[in-house]
């Protein structure tokens, strides 16, 4: 059974939902500050890395694995995140 996420009866947010919200806020704030200071944003760094010969295959593999993990398309015995981390 999948763990519950979001608001619970006690009106508290679970740690997973809070971590996703924090990550989204961090990326947004970082990019806004970087644009104002005319520095490289996370989006620009991602694009730069994905444009390189070594970076593109590495990013595609990692992104595919992460997506498959998040949607639980990988059986638990083959999903390294769920198998070894939790």
Spell out the per-residue pLDDT of the chain, length 86, in tens: 455 555 555 556 688 888 999 999 999 999 999 999 999 999 899 899 889 999 999 999 999 999 999 999 999 889 988 888 76
Tell me how many degrees the CA angle 40-46-50 measures, rounded to the nearest 5.
130
Angle, nearest 10°, between helix axes 42-50 and 15-36? 90
pTM as predicted: 0.64
pLDDT at site 7:
54
């Amino acid at each position: 059974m999948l763990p519950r996420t979001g608001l619970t009866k006690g009106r508290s947010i679970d740690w997973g939902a809070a971590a996703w919200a924090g990550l989204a806020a961090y990326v947004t704030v970082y990019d806004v500050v970087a644009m104002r200071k005319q520095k490289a944003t996370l989006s620009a760094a991602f694009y730069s890395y994905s444009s390189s010969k070594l970076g593109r295959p590495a990013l595609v593999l990692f992104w595919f694995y992460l997506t498959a993990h998040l949607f639980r398309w990988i059986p638990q015995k083959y999903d390294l995140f769920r198998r070894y981390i939790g």
